[in-house]
Amino acid sequence: MDDTTRIPSLVEYLAQFPEYCAARGRQHPLLALLLLVCVATLCGARGQSAIADWGRFHGQPWLRRLGFSRCHGPSQPTLSRLFAAIPHATVEAALGRWAEQALRLCPPAAGELEGVALDGKTLRGSKRQRAADAHLLAAFGHRLGLALGQVGVPDKTNEIGAAGELLLALALEGRVVTADALLTQPELARTILDSGGDYLLVVKGNQPTLHADIAATFAPAADDTGLVGAACTVDAHGDRIECRALTASTALVGYSDWPGLQQALRVERRVLHKRTGRLLRQETAYAVPPCAHSGRPRRSSSPSGAATGRSRTACTTSAT
């Protein structure tokens, strides 16, 4: 992104919301209220009272810049009525359009992958307040740190059903979707491929056949047929040294019926005590990308924990 890149104005998207309050009872413009919520949230406000306090403490100059015509900002009850009246789906759709436009105007560098992570979180305090459908599944852009979309997960279901709805609402062409093992499902993988995207999915015991096939591919007794490359990194963190080794294989191509499978990945992690060399932790994880180019170790689209920054040393080998 260079200095001439114009990020789309969020105001243009928020201004599209229709007024929910009749003119006679309206104290503040809707756009000004929405902008106050955005700015106060960016400054650390995490509740209605905190947002109202932000407007009161920063005074008239900031209120005028946000579009307020009165000498005072909204109270907490006013914000409460705002949140109750504005359909959350409308807000999420507008923010998603803005984030998508920002991605298009700020494309990745040549050769860099555009990663989109799917992850679910439960709203803080929702259980205490007995909120319905308080678990949310969001799509998060790796590169710019933007939420591209979000859907609620019904209380009696899980993220798998909601993920299909979310994926269909996203522009996935040329992008790599990453997710944890729960969302490693053949139907979701097929949806991503049909939308023109790629995936990089962690494989665990919830897909026993695929997990067993990949484990057998990289087992010590297996030969190196299909091995296409390997890479390793060594990072230092305080009193620990973390070593990661990533190996890719095409041995399952034509054998596994997993949608679009072209490679299988193995990530081995070893954490050592820096002074004594004692092994503190060791684990192995598996993942599947659909295309050959996705198998190359890249920091922007690696499985969870497979690669991080602050790499001190690195080595790469190619299998023949």
Q: 316 pLDDT exceeds 60?
A: no
Exposed, middle or buried by CB within 10 Å (0-12, 13-18, 19+), for 9? Answer: exposed
Q: Where does the chain show beta strands of DSSP type E?
A: 114-122, 135-141, 146-153, 175-179, 198-203, 227-237, 240-249, 264-273, 279-288, 311-317
Which tens digits make up the pLDDT trace of 245-287?
999 999 999 999 999 999 999 999 999 999 999 999 999 999 9
Q: Mean pLDDT throughout 177-205?
A: 95
Alpha-carbon span 108 to 161, nearest angstrom = 30
Edge-to-edge strand list for the sheet holding 135-141: 146-153, 135-141, 114-122, 175-179, 198-203, 279-288, 264-273, 240-249, 227-237, 311-317
pLDDT at 137: 92
Q: Mean pLDDT throughout 149-158?
A: 84
Residue 134: φ, ψ to 5°: -85, -5
Alpha-carbon span 28 to 31, nearest angstrom = 9
Q: Which residue has the tokens 């596994």?
A: 256
Q: 1 pLDDT exceeds 60?
A: no
Position 86 confidence tier, pLDDT thresholds 50, 70, 90: confident
- Give percent above pLDDT 90 in the chain: 50
Single-letter residue type at 187: E
Q: What is the mean pLDDT of the chain?
A: 84
Q: Mean pLDDT throughout 299-306?
A: 37
Position 293 confidence tier, pLDDT thresholds 50, 70, 90: very low
Q: Which residue has the tokens 């015509």?
A: 69
Q: 295 pLDDT exceeds 50?
A: no
pLDDT at 315: 41
Nearest to 200 by CA among 189, 211, 191: 189
CB 138 within 8 A of CB 118: yes
Q: 62 pLDDT exceeds 60?
A: yes
Distance between start and end Cα atoms, the chain: 38
Q: 294 pLDDT exceeds 80?
A: no
Position 6 confidence tier, pLDDT thresholds 50, 70, 90: confident
pLDDT at 24: 63
Residues in the chain: 320
